[in-house]
C-alpha cells in the first residue's frame, strides 16, 4: 500500500480510534468521548442533568442537546425493580424523585414497612430540609449575650411535623439502639416541642451510644451504584458531582441541639445545680466528638468540633464573649438566625476577624478552665484543648488539599477534568478534519469542469445545503450531463465545509460540556458565586465557537488562493485544496489521541479510587493528601 495514499491515512486514523475504543484499559473513557462528540454528549451531560443541573445554567447552552429525563427515570425504574431487597439502591432511587413535596412522604411510607433503620435516617435527614426547622428557640441566643438580641423570639413550629419526626427517631432507635443519630434527633424534636426534660434524657442517651451514622455514606454509595447499574459505567466526573451534590441538612439541627443544651446547662449552673449542668455539657461534648470523628465528610468533622466548642460557652453564667463582627452579623440576620452568612470580606477584614476570633477563643478557654477546675471537671479542659487542635488541623488540611476558588474540590480532581477537556478537544478536531478527508475521497475522480461564481456557491450552500445533500449523493454516481455534474459538484463542494463547521461546533460543545456542566453544577451548589474556572471555561468556549463561526471566511480566503494558483474554479478548489492535507492531519491527530488516552484513563481510574476513599472518609483522604504534599 502506498504510504502517501488517502486510503492509508484513513486506515491509520480508523485503527488508532479503534484501538482506543477496544482496549479494555481505555474503552470506557474512549467510548464515552466518542459518544460525546458524535452522540450529543448525552451520556455525560444527561447524567449531569439528572443531578439537577439545568441546561440554561450552562454558557452557550444552545449548542447542547435538550435533556431527556424520561430516559433516566425509566432506566432507574428498571434497575430498582430488579433489586427490590437492596436497601441502599432503593433509598437512592427514592431520593432521585424531583418532586420534593412527595419525597418525605415516600421515605416515611417505605420506613413504616421496612425493618431497616436506614429508611428512618433518610426520612429524618429529609425532614431537616424544611419541616423540621431547628432554630425555633430564642433561648439559643443567650450564648451570645446575657440580654436577648433585638427582635429575638421563638419561631412558630408545625407541631404535627415535629411529632412525625419524633416517631421516626424513636422507631429508628428501636431498630438500631447503638446509633447516636436517632436519640440526637429525638432530643432535637423534643426541644422543638418544649419537652425539655425528655430532650435532655435523649441527649444523655445519645452521648452514651458508641456509633454515629447519619446515612451520608449510604446515600452517596447508593446513588453511585444506582447510576452505574442504570446508566452504564460512570466517569469520575459524574461520580464527583454525586458527592458534591449530597446535602447535609441535619448538621444545622445538631448545632442547634448543642446550643439549646448548653444554654440550659448554663441556667442549671446559675441556679446552683452544677452537677447536672456539667452533665449536659459533657453529653454535648461526647456527642460532638462522635459526630466529628465518625462522620465520613469534612463538613461533619467540622460540625463535631463546633458542637464541642459550643458546649463550653458561658460556664456558670459567665459573661458572653463574642467578637463585634459576629454579633453584628447576627443582628443583621433574621430573628433567631445563628447560621446567617455574609458576603465574603476583604483580606484585611479577614485578618481582623481572625485576630478577633483568636482573642475570643482565648478568653472563652480561660473562663472554662477556671470553672472546670473549680468544679472538679479538669478532664473536660483537656477535651477542649484537643478539640481546638483538631479543628486547626482540619482547617489547615482543607486549605492545603482543595481548590478554594472552586468550592473545595480536590486539586487532583480539577487537574483530571482539565486533562479530559483537552483530550476531548483533540478528538473533536481530529474527527472534523477527518471529515475533510472523506470529502477528498468522494470528490477525487470528479472533473474540474465549470462551476458557479463563488458568491452563488456560498449563498446556495447556506440556504439549500440540507436540501441538496440527497441530490449531491445521487448525482455523485448517476450524473452524466454537464448540468448534473455542476449541480452535484456545487452542492457537495459547499455542503461539506458547512457540514464540517456544524459538526465542529457540535463537537466542541460535546468536548467542553462536561467541564462546564461540572463547574456550573458546583456554582449552583455554592449559591451562584463566580469562580475563575467558570470564567476561564466561558472564555474558552466563546473563543472556540467564535473561531468556528469565522471559519467559512478564513476557508474562502485561503482556498481561493489555492484555486487561483492552480487555475481551477474556486468552488472546486475549496474541496480539492482542503482535502490535500485533511487525511494526513486527521491521522496524526487520531494517533496522538490513541497515545494520550491511556495516561488519561489511568488518571481516571486513580481518581475513581480516590473518590471511593473520599466517600469512605473525606477527612482521612485529605489528611493523606496533606501528608503527601509535605514530602
Give the pLDDT confidence of 34-66 residue by residue, as tens digits.
Answer: 766 665 445 555 555 555 555 555 544 555 555
The region of weakest confidence among 176-190, 231-245, 394-408, 606-620 is: 394-408
Contacting residues for 46 by C-beta, under 8 A, at least 6 apart = 67, 68, 71, 72, 231
Residue 402: what are its φ and ψ, rounded to 5°? -125, 160
Q: Is the pLDDT of residue 316 over 70?
A: yes
Q: Is the pLDDT of residue 122 over 50?
A: yes
What mean pLDDT comes out for the span 344-370?
81
Residue 413 contacts residue 532 (beta carbons within 8 Å): no
Q: How confident is the model at residue 178 (pLDDT cuts 50, 70, 90)?
A: very high
Q: Which residues pair with 402 in a beta bridge?
A: 410
Q: How confident is the model at residue 448 (pLDDT cuts 50, 70, 90)?
A: very low
| Rounded-to-integer distance, Cα 127 and Cα 122, Å | 9
Residue 123 contacts residue 108 (beta carbons within 8 Å): yes
Q: Is the pLDDT of residue 171 over 90?
A: yes
Q: How confident is the model at residue 325 (pLDDT cuts 50, 70, 90)?
A: very low
For the question of whether the overall pTM of this predicted structure is more than 0.85, the answer is no
What mean pLDDT comes out for the span 435-456?
47
Q: What is the pLDDT of residue 195?
A: 93
What mean pLDDT comes out for the span 569-574?
48
Residue 225: what are its φ and ψ, rounded to 5°? -65, -40
| DSSP three-state, residue 16 | helix
| Rounded-to-integer distance, Cα 262 and Cα 278, Å | 9
State what percent of residues in the chain have pLDDT above 90. Answer: 27
Q: What is the pLDDT of residue 330?
A: 38
- Which one has a higher pLDDT value, 57 or 271? 271
Dihedral in degrees, nearest 10, Cα atoms 565, 571, 574, 580: -80
Residue 409: what are its φ and ψ, rounded to 5°? -75, 140
Q: How confident is the model at residue 368 (pLDDT cuts 50, 70, 90)?
A: very high
| Rounded-to-integer distance, Cα 137 and Cα 154, Å | 5
Residue 236 contacts residue 285 (beta carbons within 8 Å): no
The mean pLDDT of the chain is: 73
| Rounded-to-integer distance, Cα 110 and Cα 115, Å | 10
- Which one has a higher pLDDT value, 582 or 67? 582
- Which one has a higher pLDDT value, 574 or 402? 402
Across 268-277, 359-368, 522-531, 551-560, the highest mean pLDDT is recorded for 268-277
Q: What is the pLDDT of residue 130?
A: 78
**Within its chain, how far is the Cα of 165 from the centroid?**
29
Q: Where are the alpha helices (DSSP H) in 479-569?
A: 482-525, 532-566
Q: Is the pLDDT of residue 145 over 50?
A: yes
| Rounded-to-integer distance, Cα 419 and Cα 400, Å | 22
Q: What is the pLDDT of residue 162?
A: 92
Q: How confident is the model at residue 241 (pLDDT cuts 50, 70, 90)?
A: confident
What mean pLDDT comes out for the span 542-558?
55
Q: Is the pLDDT of residue 463 over 90?
A: no
- Which one has a higher pLDDT value, 589 or 266? 266
Contacts by 348-352 with C-beta closer than 8 Å and gap 24+? 352/325
Residue 337 contacts residue 140 (beta carbons within 8 Å): no
- Which one has a higher pLDDT value, 129 or 137? 129
Residue 88 contacts residue 218 (beta carbons within 8 Å): yes
State what percent of residues in the chain have pLDDT above 70. Answer: 58
**Within its chain, how far is the Cα of 309 from the centroid?**
30
What mean pLDDT comes out for the span 321-336?
43
Q: How confident is the model at residue 32 (pLDDT cuts 50, 70, 90)?
A: confident
Tens digits of per-residue pLDDT, 597-618?
898 888 788 878 878 887 788 7
3-state secondary structure string across 97-155: CCCHHHHHHHHHHHHHCCCCHHHHHHHHHHHCCCCCCCCCCHHHHHHCCCCCCCCCCCC
Query: Residue 621 corresponds to which cell in the numbers above?
Result: 483522604
Q: Where are the alpha helices (DSSP H) in 151-195?
A: 159-175, 181-192
Kindly tell me the sign of the dihedral angle through the C-alpha atoms of 417, 419, 422, 423: negative
What mean pLDDT comes out for the span 19-25?
90
Q: How confident is the model at residue 515 (pLDDT cuts 50, 70, 90)?
A: low
Q: What is the pLDDT of residue 466?
A: 44
| Rounded-to-integer distance, Cα 285 and Cα 312, Å | 9
The region of weakest confidence among 125-129, 158-162, 522-526, 605-609 is: 522-526
Contacting residues for 94 by C-beta, under 8 A, at least 6 apart = 103, 106, 107, 110, 122
Residue 19 contacts residue 34 (beta carbons within 8 Å): no
Q: Which residues pair with 409 in a beta bridge?
A: 403
| Rounded-to-integer distance, Cα 90 and Cα 88, Å | 6
Q: What is the pLDDT of residue 616?
A: 81
Amino acid at each position: 500500500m502506498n504510504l502517501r495514499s488517502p486510503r492509508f491515512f484513513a486506515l491509520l486514523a480508523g485503527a488508532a480510534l479503534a484501538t482506543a475504543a477496544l482496549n479494555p484499559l481505555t474503552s470506557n473513557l474512549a467510548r464515552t468521548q466518542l459518544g460525546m462528540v458524535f452522540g450529543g454528549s448525552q451520556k455525560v451531560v444527561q447524567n449531569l442533568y439528572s443531578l439537577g443541573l439545568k441546561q440554561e445554567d450552562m454558557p452557550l447552552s444552545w449548542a447542547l442537546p435538550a435533556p431527556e429525563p424520561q430516559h433516566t427515570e425509566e432506566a432507574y425504574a428498571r434497575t430498582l425493580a430488579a433489586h427490590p431487597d437492596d436497601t441502599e439502591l432503593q433509598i437512592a432511587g427514592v431520593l432521585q424523585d424531583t418532586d420534593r413535596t412527595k419525597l418525605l412522604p415516600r421515605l416515611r411510607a417505605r420506613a413504616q414497612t421496612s425493618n431497616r433503620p436506614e429508611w428512618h435516617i433518610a426520612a429524618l435527614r429529609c425532614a431537616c430540609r424544611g419541616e423540621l426547622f431547628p432554630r425555633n428557640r430564642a433561648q439559643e441566643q443567650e450564648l451570645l449575650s446575657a440580654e436577648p438580641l433585638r427582635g429575638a423570639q421563638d419561631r412558630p413550629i408545625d407541631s404535627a411535623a415535629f411529632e412525625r419526626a419524633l416517631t421516626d427517631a424513636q422507631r429508628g432507635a428501636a431498630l438500631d439502639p447503638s446509633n447516636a443519630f436517632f436519640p440526637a434527633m429525638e432530643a432535637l424534636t423534643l426541644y422543638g416541642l418544649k419537652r425539655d426534660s425528655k430532650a435532655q434524657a435523649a441527649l444523655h442517651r445519645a452521648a452514651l451510644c458508641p456509633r454515629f451514622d447519619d446515612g451520608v455514606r449510604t446515600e452517596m454509595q447508593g446513588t453511585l451504584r444506582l447510576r452505574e447499574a442504570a446508566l452504564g459505567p460512570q466517569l469520575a466526573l459524574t461520580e464527583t458531582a454525586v458527592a458534591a451534590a449530597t446535602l447535609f441538612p441535619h448538621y444545622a439541627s445538631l448545632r442547634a441541639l448543642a446550643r439549646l443544651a448548653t444554654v440550659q446547662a448554663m441556667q442549671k449552673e446559675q441556679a446552683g445545680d452544677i452537677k447536672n449542668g456539667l452533665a449536659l455539657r459533657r453529653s454535648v461534648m461526647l456527642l460532638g466528638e462522635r459526630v466529628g470523628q465518625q462522620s465520613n465528610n469534612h463538613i461533619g468533622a467540622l460540625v463535631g468540633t463546633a458542637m464541642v466548642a459550643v458546649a463550653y460557652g458561658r460556664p456558670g453564667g459567665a459573661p458572653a464573649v463574642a467578637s463585634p463582627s459576629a454579633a453584628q452579623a447576627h443582628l443583621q440576620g433574621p430573628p433567631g438566625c445563628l447560621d446567617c452568612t455574609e458576603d465574603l470580606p476583604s483580606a484585611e477584614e479577614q485578618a481582623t476577624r481572625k485576630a478577633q476570633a483568636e482573642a475570643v477563643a482565648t478568653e472563652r478557654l480561660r473562663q472554662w478552665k477556671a470553672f472546670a477546675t473549680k468544679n472538679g471537671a479538669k478532664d473536660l479542659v483537656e477535651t477542649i484543648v484537643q478539640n481546638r487542635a483538631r479543628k486547626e488541623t482540619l482547617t489547615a488540611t482543607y486549605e492545603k488539599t482543595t481548590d478554594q476558588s472552586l468550592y473545595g474540590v480536590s486539586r487532583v480532581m480539577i487537574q483530571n477534568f482539565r486533562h479530559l477537556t483537552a483530550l476531548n478537544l483533540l478528538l473533536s478536531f481530529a474527527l472534523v478534519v477527518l471529515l475533510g478527508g472523506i470529502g477528498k475521497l468522494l470528490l477525487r475522480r470528479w472533473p474540474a469542469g465549470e462551476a458557479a461564481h463563488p458568491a452563488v456557491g456560498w449563498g446556495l450552500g447556506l440556504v439549500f445545503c440540507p436540501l441538496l445533500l440527497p441530490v449531491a449523493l445521487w448525482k455523485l454516481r448517476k450524473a452524466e450531463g454537464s448540468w448534473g455534474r455542476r449541480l452535484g459538484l456545487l452542492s457537495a463542494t459547499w455542503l461539506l465545509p458547512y457540514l464540517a463547521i456544524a459538526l465542529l461546533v457540535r463537537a466542541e460543545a460535546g468536548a467542553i460540556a462536561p467541564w462546564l456542566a461540572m463547574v456550573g453544577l458546583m456554582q449552583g451548589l455554592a449559591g451562584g458565586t463566580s469562580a475563575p474556572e467558570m470564567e476561564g471555561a466561558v472564555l474558552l468556549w466563546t473563543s472556540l465557537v467564535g473561531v468556528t463561526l469565522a471559519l467559512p471566511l478564513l476557508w474562502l480566503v485561503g482556498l481561493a488562493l489555492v484555486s487561483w494558483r492552480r487555475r481551477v474554479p474556486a468552488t472546486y478548489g475549496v474541496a480539492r485544496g482542503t482535502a490535500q492535507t485533511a487525511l494526513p492531519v486527521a491521522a496524526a491527530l487520531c494517533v496522538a489521541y490513541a497515545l494520550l488516552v491511556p495516561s488519561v484513563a489511568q488518571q481516571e481510574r486513580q481518581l475513581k479510587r480516590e473518590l471511593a476513599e473520599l466517600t469512605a472518609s473525606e477527612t482521612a483522604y485529605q489528611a493523606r493528601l496533606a501528608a503527601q504534599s509535605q514530602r
